[in-house]
Structure formats: structure tokens, C-alpha cells
Amino acid sequence: MRFFYLFTLLIIFESVVGFDVNHYAKSNVTNINTFNRSIIHKDQILIEIPFAKEIILNKEQKKQLQERVVIKIQLVYTEYKTSEKFNQIELNKKRLLELKKLVPEVFDFPVWEYELISQTDGNSREECNKMFHGFVVTFRPNITPDFIVEENDYINTLFTNFSKKDSINNDTAPKPFYIETRWDNGYVYDTIWGEKIEIDLYPPAPPNPYLASLQKDSTVLNAFKRIANAQGFIIVTDATGSMMPFYSQVIIWLKEQAANVNAKGCLFFNDGDAKSSDKKLPLETGGIYVAKSLQSEEINKSLNKCTSGGSGGGEAKENDVEAMLLGLKYFPEAKSIVLIADNYEKMRDYEFINKITVPVQVFLCGAKSFVNTQYLDLARITKGSVHVEHEEINNLHLLQENDIITINNRDYMLKNGAFIYYYAEKEVL
């Protein structure tokens, strides 16, 4: 558990709030021979820039960048210089600022991964002119109707596995036995009654490389362990397709907590079912499904309805606040809220966070690099906490204007009542 105490540790020579182009322009570099355009997949686009220039050639790509969730940006260039005075870092900065000028909203919440890639082939301007220069932007995969079917199959298999395990545990019929040998200051022979049957609760994930990469992220289960003594809470879970690895962890935990009177109920939300963007109004978006008990049948029914209803349309916004307020309406006795949230998504109804009257414990999923500052604000306003995979951040409400906190080795400043990204050149005394 982390608490913040203010003391002087650093001399700050230079600091930047918001987006710091210097931080990105001087990032670690990956060297390759030549970038191969043919490796680009359907969830990536190439934003081309001429050799040694910063001009973005196709500004029509702006629409794609605005409509989809960016999870990674790579800047590709060549190592070759036509002049000894050439400064690659300065060109990197100019290119980044051009991209920011094209889509400023992408840089408002830079929670995406970033990488510089330097091509070592190319020994003349003519050779370099034929090579790719520019940005490779990777989007979160869109959720298709086929994936929704696969997602529901996954959920049903998960609950079927629960039933199989319960059936095995509750079976009292006579069974055959076998002997297991172990060492305990000598050989010990144990008689094991019944067939040795092991149930792997997690079925294979749907064939989606992005989701498979998240399967190892244990943010939710880690955070639940930290709040083991919490009293009277409800669980509000983002159940859009990109969150499947995380709400699977919610299901696992809920199964173990069916008799826990401290967990009052659970809600799943998907940002308006399949509603079009122009019909999604703050606090009136819908796509929220309530499980009034923690019994497996009730959870399965509510989650299936939520995932079958849609996945919010692939936008970078979710109706978190609306779902939490509905949860408090259904469970007025709730003393706190556990919000399972997507770090890559903004809150559609962020301006209404002050309507939430109980502490919110935010389990922030996918926060590998930067943390979405809206969820820091939510925890501060409600006197709650933020949990990432290996950290718990408490007492945000005690911070004063211009105070700085560090999460995952990244700094955030409280400025004008809200958190912003903060970058500093530091010398430790």
C-alpha cells in the first residue's frame, strides 16, 4: 500500500506538463536493417513522411486516428545522414509535433506504447528515398459479430468449468484410489481416493493476438487481494470485448465470493449496446446490466446479455459514471465501488464524477506505461484508490495543487484540480 508524504528529494532543472515531445524524441531506439511494409496487418496504418522531412503526406488518415483506439505508435526513420550537422532528435520532435497537430486528441491521453525504430540500411539519399519513413500506428482490434459469438462461448465455457469443478468436489460416491509418493524426511505414501481430475478454469481465449497478450495481466486478481477487507462494495465492470481477459478474472473472483456478504452485487456495461455515437448522451447511453446476486447463474445471465448487446462501437469512450450511478441506485447500501476500467478509454461522462458519493477503487486494466489521468481524478474526487498490476495508489485526495506523484515510474501533477502528465529532468541529491 502506498501513501504520499511530501519532501524535497530532487533538483528540477527543466519540467514540462502535458505532452513532452522531448521525452518521446529521445526514447530508446530499436535498430533494424530495413522496415518491411508488407508486415503491416489490418489493425495498423502507415503514416508516411519523406526522408529527412516532417511533412505528413496523407492527412486524410486523420479520420482513422480519431475513430479508433490507438495502442502503439512507432516512429521509423533511417540512420543515414546527408550532413554531419543533421540532428535526428530535432527531426523526431518536428515529426511528432506534426502528428500532434493532425490529431491532438491522441496526445491528450498518451497511454499508448511508443517506440523509435532506426533503419541501418540505406547509404545515400537515393536509397533512403525508397525506404519507409514515418509512423506505424497500431489500433486495438475492432470487435466483430463473430468475435461476440466467440466471446459468449468463452463465458459459457468458463461457467461450465465451474460446474464441472463443483460437481467433482461435491461427488461423494465411492471411487477408486491411487497412491502418491512424496518425500518428508523419508518416503511417505498417500492414498488418494477418486480419479485424479484437474479442471483448468480458463478456457482457450478466442483467436485474437491482442487479447491473448492481455491474458497474462493479473491486474484484477492482484487488486482484489489488496482489498480483501473492504466492506459493502459493488463491482462495476467494463465488459466491452477488449476487456475479456479482465472480466474473466472478475468471474473467477466472484465465484470464490458467492457467500461474501461484503460484495453486494455486480454490474456490467458496454457503452450503449450497438447504439450509434450520435445517440450516446452522457448519463443516457445505456448498455448496463445488473446482477443482483453473486450466484454463478445470475452473473452468467447478466454478462451474456451485456456482451451480446454489443461492444460500444469501438470508440475510445465508455459510460463508466452512468454505470456506477445506476449501481448506487440498485444498491443504495453500498459503501464503495470497485470499478474494473479500461486504461485506454476515456469516460464519456467524466464531467459528472462528482455525483458519485462513495469511494471508488479503480482497477485500471492495461496500464503498462502511462495511466489515464481521468481515473486518477475519479479516485481523488471520491477519496478512493487506483490499482494497477503491481501498485496501489491511495490518499490522492490529500494532494495539494502542483504536487507530483509517481506511478510505474511516470510522473503526474495535480494542476487546477485535475491530474496532468508531468515530465522533468532531474538530478538526485
Task: Give residue-wise pLDDT tens across range 224-281.
Answer: 889 888 889 999 999 987 787 788 888 888 877 666 667 888 999 999 988 888 889 9
Range of the domain at 301: 212-398
| b/e map 19-34, b = 16+ CB within 10 Å | bbbebbbeeeeeeeee
In a domain, 127, yes or no: yes
In a domain, 239, yes or no: yes
Model confidence, pTM: 0.80
In a domain, 225, yes or no: yes
In a domain, 204, yes or no: no
Task: Judge if 220 and 364 occupy the same domain.
Answer: yes
| b/e map 90-116, b = 16+ CB within 10 Å | ebbbebbebbbeebeebbebbbbebeb
In a domain, 199, yes or no: no
Task: Judge if 116 and 222 occupy the same domain.
Answer: no
In a domain, 120, yes or no: yes
Task: Judge if 234 and 361 occupy the same domain.
Answer: yes
Domain boundary among 120, 139, 158: 139
Q: CATH number for the domain including 131?
A: 3.30.1330
CA angle 386, 363, 415 (to 5 degrees): 35
Lowest mean pLDDT among 169-173, 184-188, 361-365: 169-173
8 A C-beta contact, residue 327 and residue 265: yes
3-state helix, strand, coil in the chain (%, to 5): 35, 25, 40
In a domain, 303, yes or no: yes
Task: Give residue-wise pLDDT tens across range 347-392.
Answer: 999 999 999 999 999 999 988 888 999 999 999 999 999 999 989 9
- Number of domains present in the structure of the chain: 2
pLDDT score of 156: 79
Domain boundary among 94, 120, 139: 139
pLDDT score of 67: 84
Cell 456506477 belongs to which residue?
A: 324
pLDDT score of 425: 55
Q: CATH number for the domain including 372?
A: 3.40.50
Of 98, 74, 80, nearest in space to 33 by CA: 80
In a domain, 408, yes or no: no
Q: Rounded to an integer, what distance in angstroms lies between the CA atom of residue 241 and that of residue 53?
A: 39
